[in-house]
Chain A
Amino acid sequence: DTGVSQDPRHKITKRGQNVTFRCDPISEHNRLYWYRQTLGQGPEFLTYFQNEAQLEKSRLLSDRFSAERPKGSFSTLEIQRTEQGDSAMYLCASITPRTGYGNTIYFGEGSWLTVV
């Protein structure tokens, strides 16, 4: 499978625990995005990377959230001291920008987080 893969697909954790999600983008894609989607809502932007550089972070990304892409390939999203409000699906997407328009963004199937 050469699509965007995310792991784990589902995670149930107790409040206060730390969790980490991994995203493996399509191999030639240099831009990687993280989104959060809560029930009944569209995905909301969290952060994105151009290669290993984290270029933009949403105000939704509190100091308990950290994302890395150390070698410009896979990325991790860590949530520390989880709260029940963190329960959501965390989506990863990747793209290889070309000059002009028409770049297709490919999404993974998401990582579901339930904080109990």
Chain B
Amino acid sequence: AQSVTQLDSHVSVSEGTPVLLRCNYSSSYSPSLFWYVQHPNKGLQLLLKYTSAATLVKGINGFEAEFKKSETSFHLTKPSAHMSDAAEYFCVVSDLSGSARQLTFGSGTQLTVLP
């Protein structure tokens, strides 16, 4: 079985300050991990993915995430928040190698960026 826990349901930062969105996962196999962003009334857009290659993954719009197996974490960071980053962020685990054939989503973190 696999699961994802997003530790914060809401995060609020000021524009220009760092962003940290936390994610812990549980998986029986070596997972693939993703971060998706969802703007209001929009579908899901892939920010970045971890695929058992480099543990530090760079994504679009200046976001990056670090896979830490010992901590079972995959936290999303950005050095400097922009107003356009305000959205819902989902951490997702995928185990396509075993019997679990679907993605498991975290419950989401709503990011607010203050001017």
Residues of B within 8 A of A106 (CB): 46
Within 8 Å of chain B (Cβ to Cβ): is A2?
no
Closest A residue to B30 by CB, please name it.
A101
Interface residues of B in 33-79 (CB under 8 A from A): 34, 36, 41-46, 49, 51-53
Residues of A within 8 A of B43 (CB): 91, 107-110
Given contacts A42-B90, A97-B96, contact A105 B103 (CB under 8 A): yes
Interface residues of B in 74-115 (CB under 8 A from A): 90, 94, 96-97, 101-108
B interface residues, Cβ below 8 angstroms from A:
30, 32, 34, 36, 41-46, 49, 51-53, 90, 94, 96-97, 101-108
CA distance A97 to B52 in the complex (A): 16
Consensus secondary structure, chain A interface: loop
Interface range, A side: 20 to 34
Given contacts A43-B44, A91-B44, contact A101 B51 (CB under 8 A): yes
Please tell me if the beta carbons of A42 and B108 are within 8 angstroms of each other in the complex: yes
Residues of A within 8 A of B94 (CB): 103, 105
The contact sample of 12 A-B pairs, CB cut-off 8 A, is: A42-B105, A42-B106, A42-B107, A56-B102, A91-B43, A100-B97, A101-B30, A101-B52, A103-B32, A105-B94, A105-B103, A109-B42
Please tell me if the beta carbons of B51 and A102 are within 8 angstroms of each other in the complex: yes
The tally of CB-CB contacts under 8 A between chains A and B is 64
Interface digits, A77-116 against B, CB 8 Å rule (1 contact, 0 not)? 0000000000000010100010011111111111010000
- Taking a contact as CB atoms closer than 8 A, the residue among B30, B46, B104 that contacts A104 in the complex is B46
A interface residues, Cβ below 8 angstroms from B:
33, 35, 40-45, 48, 55-56, 58, 91, 93, 97, 100-110, 112
Please tell me if the beta carbons of B96 and A101 are within 8 angstroms of each other in the complex: yes
Closest B residue to A92 by CB, please name it.
B43
Residues of A within 8 A of B46 (CB): 104-106
Residues of B within 8 A of A41 (CB): 107-108
A101 shortest CB reach to chain B, Å: 5
Beyond A48-B101, A97-B96, A104-B34, 15 additional contacts (C-beta under 8 Å) are A33-B103, A35-B103, A43-B44, A48-B102, A55-B101, A56-B101, A56-B102, A101-B52, A102-B32, A103-B32, A103-B96, A105-B46, A107-B43, A107-B44, A110-B43
